[in-house]
């Protein structure tokens, strides 16, 4: 299976990869569930050019590649690209950008 | 768990922290339930840049960081950031700003 | 409980206080139910700056502080501020302004 | 009960008073039911300034005070002002203006 | 009953009178049902000035007084004016204009 | 029945005549069902002037008289004009134009 | 059956042909199901001119003939043209463009 390597989202769609919660990584110790926000956070992998306004112009996107974003509880479409799981959201569905 | 410290809301979303009702604080005396409005009031922690109008321009937000706001009875999304509970509302869902 | 004294409504919301029907006030005589319109009338306590049009501009409000307004049969949100009951309506939901 | 005498409708609302069908008036003779249109006709008592277009401008009203209008079968809000029954419709709900 | 003679439709409404299917007229011979289209055809009696566009301007009507129009299967409001039955449709609901 | 011969569709409506599937025509041989697309194809008989945009201007039609079009699986209104069956679709409902 | 060879989609519709998953092609060996994304990918065969914005102007399409696109899980209309199966989606329904 040669390379269908990249997905360029259409309009205002955002391709994200969910942050994997580190359950029992370093040394096998099980981590507590207090890291709840990790499950709903993701890294933006690719963004579309933006949706069209009612007058037909491109509306700028709220996020960019590499952003850590907070996902809504519901929604999004699961897609598989080369056996890795990604999710597609519309720019408007994302709740916020997480910064340090 | 290093610091995913801040959430910058997307579009017209507002991150708020609900006002904790002081039930029996000073001296252990149980307070009456007359302080009902406290439950639906919150402090704005962060605001997004605003939604886009139908022609694609940014619409100014109604609230700013630090505002005390009156929340609607329903709606809002609960999020956890570093074990503290916050809520996200859209600017349009907030009922009003409380001033002294 | 120090003073969360005023509520400034957001967008096109209107804070009103319902007119209390004078059932048997002066002298204890029970009044007839003919004063039906009083139940659906209220005094405007505070008004928001107005909603945004589809192009993002502020739309002027139809009512101002002090107006006596006719309320619709349904709708509105009940809020309590310092133990007094108020109601919030959107400007568009109010039926009319009552004048003498 | 002093005078809450007039109602100025908000936006594109129209205050009407339904035409009373003259069943057996002059001399006590019962009239036939052929005057069916009378039940759905009304006289405009007061009109609002008009609704706002999507760009926020006032849209002119279709009717004016004194017009005889044809009402739709459903809709409208019943209000009582000083024991008289009136109805409120939106300008757009009225079917037409009756002329001689 | 003096004359409430004419109805001027409001906005984009059209007052029509349905074409009466000539079932067994000339000489009492029953006509076949092949004249199906007659039931859904009507003559325009009066037209409103047109609806308002989202920016508040009048949109021209598609039909004019005297036009023979094809009616949709559903919809329309039945009104009686001086014992004759008429129907009101919105301009947009009419299917087409019938010409010879 | 004199001639109500032509229908000029209103706004963005399109009058089409469905392509008749040639089941067993030439010589009585029954044709296989592989010609499935024929059932959903039609010839445009008449087109309206176009719908009005939200600002009230005419939007050009996608099809013209004589076009072979692909119809959606659902929708459309059946009309009979002089015993022949036609269908009315809105321009936007048609799927595509078939060319050789 | 002579040639109804091409379909030109109307407005913002896109005609696609689904990518056939190579189950057991080269040598008869059954392939694993890991190539999941293949089922939801398709090649664009033809695109319409674009939908009209609310002001009536053509909105550019997101895809072009020959693009490999990611399809949503639901939606689309199945059409048959000369015994081959195609699917029609609206430009806005497609999730993204797959590139190598």
Chain C residues touching residue D44 (CB < 8 angstroms): none
CA C63/CA D1 separation, integer angstroms:
24
pLDDT of F21 higher than 90: no
Chain C's closest residue to B22, CA to CA, is C1
**3-state DSSP of F5-32:** CEEEECCCEEEEEECCCCCCCHHHCCCC
Chain D residues touching residue E48 (CB < 8 angstroms): 96
Chain C residues touching residue D52 (CB < 8 angstroms): 53, 59
CB spacing of C62 vs D3 below 8 angstroms:
no
Give the one of D57, D59, D95 whose C-beta lies nearest to E88's C-beta.
D95
Confidence (pLDDT) at B60: 95
CA distance A71 to chain G (A): 18
Q: Residue E83: pLDDT band by 50, 70, 90 thresholds? A: confident
Q: Taking residues C24-33, what's their average pLDDT?
A: 60
CB spacing of A53 vs B55 below 8 angstroms:
yes
With beta carbons less than 8 A apart as the criterion, state whether F87 and F44 touch: no
B30 vs F38, which has greater pLDDT? B30
In chain D, what are the helix, strand and coil shares in percent, each to the nearest 5? Answer: 10, 40, 55
CB spacing of E7 vs D92 below 8 angstroms:
no
D41 vs A82, which has greater pLDDT? D41
Lowest-pLDDT range of A6-20, B23-37, C13-27, G19-33: B23-37
pLDDT of E84 higher than 50: yes
Closest CA to C59 of D58, E54, B63: D58
A9 vs D100, which has greater pLDDT? A9
Model pLDDT for residues C44-69, shown as the tens digit of each residue: 999 999 999 988 889 999 999 999 99
Residues of chain A in Cβ contact (below 8 Å) with chain B: 34-37, 40-41, 53-55, 57-59, 62-63, 68-70, 72-73, 91-92, 94-100
pLDDT of C31 higher than 80: no
CA distance F2 to chain E (A): 8
Confidence (pLDDT) at B3: 45
CB spacing of A100 vs B6 below 8 angstroms:
yes
CB spacing of G94 vs A56 below 8 angstroms:
no
CA distance F72 to chain G (A): 8
CB pairs under 8 A, 24+ apart, for G87-90?
Answer: G87/G15, G87/G16, G87/G17, G87/G18, G87/G42, G88/F95, G88/F96, G88/G9, G88/G13, G88/G14, G88/G15, G88/G16, G89/G13, G89/G14, G89/G16, G90/G12, G90/G13, G90/G14, G90/G51
With beta carbons less than 8 A apart as the criterion, state whether A70 and A37 touch: yes
Lowest-pLDDT range of C18-22, E88-92, F25-29: F25-29
The Cβ of residue E74 has, within 10 Å, a number of other Cβ atoms equal to 7
Chain A's closest residue to B7, CA to CA, is A98
Give the one of G2, G8, G52 whose C-beta lies nearest to F97's C-beta.
G8
Q: Residue F95: pLDDT band by 50, 70, 90 thresholds? A: very high
Confidence (pLDDT) at E10: 97
Domain ranges of chain E: 13-20+33-98
CA C80/CA C59 separation, integer angstroms:
28
Model pLDDT for residues E16-72, shown as the tens digit of each residue: 999 876 666 556 666 555 544 446 899 999 999 999 998 888 999 999 999 999 999
Lowest-pLDDT range of B31-45, G43-57, G80-94: B31-45
With beta carbons less than 8 A apart as the criterion, state whether G51 and A52 touch: no
Give the one of F4, F13, F55 whose C-beta lies nearest to E100's C-beta.
F4
G57 vs B66, which has greater pLDDT? B66
Residues of chain B in Cβ contact (below 8 Å) with chain C: 34-37, 40-41, 53-55, 57-59, 62-63, 68-70, 72-73, 91-92, 94-100
Please report the DSSP string for B27-95 in residue order: GGPPPPTT-GGGTTEEEEEEE-S-PBPTTSPBPPPS--TT-EEEPPSS--EEEEETTEEEEEEEGGG--
For domain B13-20+33-98, say whether CATH 2.30.33.40 is its number. Answer: yes
Confidence (pLDDT) at C83: 84
For Cα atoms E4, E7, E11, give the angle at the middle one, nearest 5 degrees: 150
With beta carbons less than 8 A apart as the criterion, state whether E69 and E97 touch: yes
- Biggest CA-to-CA distance, chain B: 57
CB spacing of C4 vs B100 below 8 angstroms:
yes
The torsion angles phi and psi of B7, rounded to 5 degrees, stand at -120, 120
- Can you tell me whether residue A61 is helix, strand or coil? coil
Chain B's closest residue to C81, CA to CA, is B37
Confidence (pTM): 0.83
Q: Residue F37: pLDDT band by 50, 70, 90 thresholds? A: very low
Residues of chain E in Cβ contact (below 8 Å) with chain D: 1-11, 13, 15, 46, 48-49, 52, 54-56, 77, 79-83, 88
Chain mean pLDDT for chain F: 84
Tokens of G20: 């056939």
F82 vs F79, which has greater pLDDT? F79
Tokens of F55: 């600002």
pLDDT of D1 higher than 50: no
E67 CB burial (10 A radius; 0-12, 13-18, 19+): buried
CB spacing of G99 vs A56 below 8 angstroms:
no
Confidence (pLDDT) at E47: 98
pLDDT of A30 higher than 70: no
With beta carbons less than 8 A apart as the criterion, state whether B10 and A62 touch: yes
C62 CB burial (10 A radius; 0-12, 13-18, 19+): buried
Give the one of D55, D73, D100 whose C-beta lies nearest to E5's C-beta.
D100
CA E22/CA E36 separation, integer angstroms:
11
pLDDT of C4 higher than 50: no
pLDDT of D35 higher than 50: no
Tell whether the torsion through CA atoms of F23, F27, F28 and F29 is positive or negative.
Answer: negative
Chain F residues touching residue G6 (CB < 8 angstroms): 98-100
Confidence (pLDDT) at D65: 97
pLDDT of G43 higher than 60: yes
How many A×G Cβ pairs under 8 Å? 71
In Å, how far are A85, A98, F28 from A70, measured between CA atoms? 17, 7, 67
Compute CA C30 distance to the chain's CA centroid, rounded to the nearest angstrom. Answer: 26
- Can you tell me whether residue F39 is helix, strand or coil? helix
Please report the DSSP string for chain E in residue order: -----EEEE-TTEEEEEEPPP-TT-GGGPPPPTT-GGGTTEEEEEEE-S-PBPTTSPBPPPS--TT-EEEPPSS--EEEEETTEEEEEEEGGG--EEEE-
Q: Taking residues G14-40, what's their average pLDDT?
A: 68
Q: Residue G22: pLDDT band by 50, 70, 90 thresholds? A: low
Chain E's closest residue to D50, CA to CA, is E56
């Amino acid at each position: 299976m040669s390379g269908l390597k990249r997905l360029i989202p259409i309009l205002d769609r955002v391709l994200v990869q969910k942050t994997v919660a580190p359950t029992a990584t370093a040394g096998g110790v099980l981590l507590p569930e207090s890291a709840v926000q990790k499950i709903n956070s993701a890294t933006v992998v690719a963004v579309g050019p933006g949706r069209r306004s009612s007058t037909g112009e491109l509306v700028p996107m709220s996020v960019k590649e590499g952003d850590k974003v907070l996902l809504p509880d519901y929604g999004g479409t699961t897609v598989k690209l080369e056996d890795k799981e990604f999710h597609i959201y519309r720019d408007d569905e994302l709740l916020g950008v997480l910064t340090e």
